[in-house]
Amino acid sequence: MDKCSFCGRNRKEVDILISGISGFICNECAEQAHEIVNEERKEADKAGDFNPEKSKLLKPREIKDFLDQYIIGQDDAKKILSVAVYNHYKRLGQKVSDDIEIEKSNIILVGETGTGKTLLARTIAKLLHVPFTIVDATVLTEAGYVGEDIESILSRLLQVADYNKPLAEKGIVFIDEIDKIARKGDNPSITRDVSGEGVQQGLLKLLEGSIVNVPPKGGRKHPEQPMVAVDTKNILFICGGAFDGIDKKIAKRLNTQIVGFDRQIKTQTVEKDNLLQYIAPQDLKSFGLIPEIIGRLPVLTYLNPLDKHALRQILTDPKNSITKQYIKLFEMDGIELTFDEDVYEYIVDKAIEFKLGARGLRSICETVMIDAMFNLPSQRKKKFSVTLDFAKEKLEHTDALKLRVA
């Protein structure tokens, strides 16, 4: 009689008996083997050793090809991000005995809301073999004030690394909304700028690389609490922000409003619809970032504003595009969902009108589809097509116009 080669139980005594070339394994032994493999992998990770060859290190072009599957356009930002991540891996694998020490290149991404800064960070996280976390700069304050301390950034990285300190010290941190901690003004004030310049000063030691005492479970520091000393020397920091209004600083620097006979000659090479492509460190300084923090973010890149063609592609082309998500949701209820071509154009036109970028596409689609998602699962329909008349009716008879930005 067939029996498990590991525990010796026969087919009648187990739920499933899987046959191999020269033996059998039951379902319970297979589950135990799976748990043992996971435990062994965890023990190996605790060593904290990083080997680029074992981690299947992707080349920059391969990283960009992966990003292309999920994000439309933004080639310049993708290239810079791919190279930075690739160099970070190589830096971690560098031998200590080498005379030339490779320094880390922290990055700052500048782009309008809805252009894909956070999406770039989330997508690249799918590829990584090191701990990765996204934190929001808007909640950070100076030590002693209501809000989160700067060290909470490293607390989150420790949590992602399952409190494995050596592994966390080789991770990547994406600090979102970095523009919200800009200096509020050059003039001294009676009140302290506790969530502006003070936070920038506190971030300096993290970005540069130093040993920081971190509360392992987060929260405030207090004398009785045990601290974990985290070395940020090998942690790569990527910062992103909308920097709303920085285009005026760029225009002022480029002197686009020249008066005189040579006005056309001096401004003909400036593309006024996309001034972010000319961004320079001095623009960040005039916006409110202190020179010390700009110097610790040496790689500066931008994200292009999304035009009609890009929004149209975002709607249908990426691997996890908005319309593909709705099709999958309806498919799980046994309903075949289709969209007419002119519906896509209508949604894109409305997104441009509302001035919400790629996020506006999701808001509009949700408004159009909400009634269908509510009613169709209870009906016996097997097919449903979203027509232009249907989309117009749902959008014009709801509160969607509240989305409009003046």
Reported as type and span, the H/E element at residue 325 is: helix 322-331
Name, in order, each residue with C-beta under 8 angstroms of 323's C-beta and a sequence gap of 6 or more. 315, 316, 339, 344, 365
Instruction: Reduce the DSSP state of residue 270 to 3 states and report it.
Output: coil
Buried (b) or exposed (e) across 3-40, using 16+ Cβ within 10 A? bbeeeeeeeeebeebeeeeeebbbebbeeeeeeeeeee
Long-range Cβ contact pairs of 33-38 (< 8 A, separation 24 or more): none
93-107, 213-227, 344-358: which range is least confident on average?
A: 213-227
Q: What is the 3-state secondary structure (H, E, C) of 192-241?
A: CCCCCHHHHHHHHHHHHCCEEEECCCCCCCCCCCCCEEEECCCCEEEEEE
* pLDDT tens, residue by residue, 257-307: 545 555 554 545 677 778 888 899 999 998 989 999 999 999 999 998 888
Short-list 153, 305, 311, 309, CA closest to 244: 305
CA dihedral 304, 310, 315, 317 (to 10 degrees): -110
**Measured between alpha carbons, how far apart are the two ends of the chain, in Å?**
78
Of 3.40.50.80, 1.10.8.60, 3.30.70.380, 1.10.357.10, which CATH number belongs to 308-403? 1.10.8.60
* Stretch 78-107: mean pLDDT: 82
Predicted structure pTM score: 0.74
Length of the chain: 406
User: What is the residue extent of each domain of the chain?
Assistant: 11-46, 60-302, 308-403
With residue 136 as reference, give the H or E element that holds it.
strand 132-136
Domain 60-302: which topology?
Answer: Rossmann fold (3.40.50)
pLDDT surpassing 50 at residue 52:
no
The stretch 325-347 carries a mean pLDDT of 93
pLDDT at position 398 is: 65
Percent of the chain with pLDDT over 90: 27
pLDDT one-digit tens code per residue, 209-231: 888 888 877 656 666 667 889 99
Ranges 172-186, 191-205, 248-262, most confident: 172-186
Q: How confident is the model at residue 400 (pLDDT cuts 50, 70, 90)?
A: very low
- Asked if the model's pLDDT at residue 182 lies above 80, the reply is yes
